[in-house]
Structure formats: structure tokens, C-alpha cells
């Protein structure tokens, strides 16, 4: 099977504070994927690896606002190597922007943990490019499934905002390419709600967005992901949130996923984008679900059973060992 990837780039950031405590662990780093890539390279009879070169930042304007794109573009030019900016003031009523673009972060960022570096923007561009190239492969070939091994994640990046370690929405860019086939579904099975994906497609019926996630009553991003968020205007009824509370084990998750797969087929979609997060695994440091590795194989089988052209993009997952096991189990399930 074909796996598309690109340079993951370095995006080290200094320790940050949460409720006064200094944390030295920054989960979203290139190390997440290095072990997986090494394994894939050593098993090239099974996997065809395709490295993708990055495109210009203007190409992400298909799903993001020109305002956000220009912010990234200008910031890339002014930041020195290793320099970073973070949101420290959030202008709730959108006051006048200061002249120095380094202080604009709070205008677009919705959390305090997602810092911006020249390298981070480049890594996000690489990820967005990779997802688009993988989607084009699906569009122009007989392949029924391709995988985009990318970082940073993208499903928290909205039309005019970023956060949650997400800067550019990879799944949305892929769906935009696949829309040439007709209606596309985006199935988000990351532990956290894909608020950015919801934002981008909230008012259209051309993309059916579904997110299965930990309830925002108790988990990031808190302000999005509720069951009553069903879309607006032409998109009303085309956004489905399934927030989960209490103990979520593999059997419970499979029953939900099987119901969702039937809804996707009833929606007459022509292609599927899966936002896959291994943070639903019981061994992930940021999740609370009780799902074991074997269930990722079953997830792959259920998604494959829909018979749709499918692009899987990697979202979260912050235990490298678990991420590798879950990813390989998912691919095994999908491809038998």
C-alpha cells in the first residue's frame, strides 16, 4: 500500500506552564513518527513510501482564510531560526492589531499551548501538501486507500484560527481535492473533537463531518463538539458530533463506529477522509478511553467494509510505541 510522508521538521519549544506547574514534556514532536517511518522503510516490500515536497503557503487558502494565510506567510519571513511566538493576550472583541506581527498570535490562536515557529509552519505546510498529494493519488488511480503519515495534526485548525498543535487542516485540504468526485465524508476518530474541521465545513452539505470524541464537558477543546452542533444554513444536518463520557472500551466504540459507517453510506458520499488518532488507545498519555491495540484492526476492517475511496490522515497520538502498534494494526485491518 502507498504511504505518503514528508519532512516532519523540528518544532521544539521551551517548557510551558499549566496551572502554575512547569511542564518539560511537549507531546507533539517529530519523535512521534521517526520510529514508525524507520519501521516502514525496513518493510518496503509491504509498503510503498512516497516522499512529498512542500508547496507554497498560498495553496492552503482553499480551506483557510486569506487573513490567516497572510499571518503565517509574514511570520515566516520575520522569525529567526528557533524563535517562537505564543499567544499571551486574546483580544475578545478584536481590537486594533499592533504593528509587530509577533503580537498577532492571540488574534488567531484559541489556546495557550500552541506556539508558532518558522519550523512549525514549515512542518504544517509539509503535512498539508502531503495530504493533498495523497488525495490526488486516490483521485487519479485505482487505489482505494492511501495513508498520509504526517505531523503536526490539523483537525483543530479552523478557517480563521489555529490551536491544539494544529496550524493547517490536513483533512480539510484532502476533502477539498476529493470533492471532485462528489460529496465527501470526514470521519474524525481522534480522542479530541475536530473543532477546526467542523468550523470549515459547518455551512455546507458537500462535506459530511462526523466526530467521535471525549465529551467537551470534560475535555479539550471544551467549547466545541456538543451533540446539538448539527451545521448551519445549507450545512444543517451535515455535521454529526458523538461525544462520549464514562468508560469507553473497544466493544462500545465498535458499536458506535458500525452505526456511523451505515450513516455514511446512507449519505451517498463518494469518498472518505479518516482523521485517525491513536490517542483513543488506553496507553496514550492524553486520553482516557480503554481501547486496546486489537481494536484498531477492527476499526480498519469496518472502514474498509464501506468500499469507499479512503484517505487516512494521522492526527494525534503521543506514545510512540502505542502509535506504531495502533497504526500498523489499523493498516492490517484495512488491507487484510
Catalytic annotation, residues: 156
User: Grid coordinates standing for 5?
Assistant: 510522508
DSSP notation for 167-220: SS-HHHHHHHHHGGGS-EEEEEESSS--HHHHHHHTT-SSEEEEEEEE-TTTST
Q: Are 193 and 210 in contact (CB under 8 A)?
A: no
Q: How far apart are alpha carbons 87 and 168 in whole angstroms? A: 17
DSSP notation for 313-336: EE-----HHHHHHHHHHHHHHHH-
**Locate cell 518558522: which residue?**
118
Q: How far apart are alpha carbons 30 and 15 in whole angstroms? A: 16
User: Grid coordinates standing for 171?
Assistant: 483533512
Strand 16-18 with 48-51, pairing: unpaired
Q: Are 71 and 100 in contact (CB under 8 A)?
A: no
How much of the chain is helix, strand and coil, in % rounded to 5?
40, 20, 45
CA 163 to chain centre: 11
The residues, any chain, with a CB within 8 Å of residue 304's CB and separated by 6 or more, are 145, 310, 333, 334, 335, 336
Amino acid at each position: 500500500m502507498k504511504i505518503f510522508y514528508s519532512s516532519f521538521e523540528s518544532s521544539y519549544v521551551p517548557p510551558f506552564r499549566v496551572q502554575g506547574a512547569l511542564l518539560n514534556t511537549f507531546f507533539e514532536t517529530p519523535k512521534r513518527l521517526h520510529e514508525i517511518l524507520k519501521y516502514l522503510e525496513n518493510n518496503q516490500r509491504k509498503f510503498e513510501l512516497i516522499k512529498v515536497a512542500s508547496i507554497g503557503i498560498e495553496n492552503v487558502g482553499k480551506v483557510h482564510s486569506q487573513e490567516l494565510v497572510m499571518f503565517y506567510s509574514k511570520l515566516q519571513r520575520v522569525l529567526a531560526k528557533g524563535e517562537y511566538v505564543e499567544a499571551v493576550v486574546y483580544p475578545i472583541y478584536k481590537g486594533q492589531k499592533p504593528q509587530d506581527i509577533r503580537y498577532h498570535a492571540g488574534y488567531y490562536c484559541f489556546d495557550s499551548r500552541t506556539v508558532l515557529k518558522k519550523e512549525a509552519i514549515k512542518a504544517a505546510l509539509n503535512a498539508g501538501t502531503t495530504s493533498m498529494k495523497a488525495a490526488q493519488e486516490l483521485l487519479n488511480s485505482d487505489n482505494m486507500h492511501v495513508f498520509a503519515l504526517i505531523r503536526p495534526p490539523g483537525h483543530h485548525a479552523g478557517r480563521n484560527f489555529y490551536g491544539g498543535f494544529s496550524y493547517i487542516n490536513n483533512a480539510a485540504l484532502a476533502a477539498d481535492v476529493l470533492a471532485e468526485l462528489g460529496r465527501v465524508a470526514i470521519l474524525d476518530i481522534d480522542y479530541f473533537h475536530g473543532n477546526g474541521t467542523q468550523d470549515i465545513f459547518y455551512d455546507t452539505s458537500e462535506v459530511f463531518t462526523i466526530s467521535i470524541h471525549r465529551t467537551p464537558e470534560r475535555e479539550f477543546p471544551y467549547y466545541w463538539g456538543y451533540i446539538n452542533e448539527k451545521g448551519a444554513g445549507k450545512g444543517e444536518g451535515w455535521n454529526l458530533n458523538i461525544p462520549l463520557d464514562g468508560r469507553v472500551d473497544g466493544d462500545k466504540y465498535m458499536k458506535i463506529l458500525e452505526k456511523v459507517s451505515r450513516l455514511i453510506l446512507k449519505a451517498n458520499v463518494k469518498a472518505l477522509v479518516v482523521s485517525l488518532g491513536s490517542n483513543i488507545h488506553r496507553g496514550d498519555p492524553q486520553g482516557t478511553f480503554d481501547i486496546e491495540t486489537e481494536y484498531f484492526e477492527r476499526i480498519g476492517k469496518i472502514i474498509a467494509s464501506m468500499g469507499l475511496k479512503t484517505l487516512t490522515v494521522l492526527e494525534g497520538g503521543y506514545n510512540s510505541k502505542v502509535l506504531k502498534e495502533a497504526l500498523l494494526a489499523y493498516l492490517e485491518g484495512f488491507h487484510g
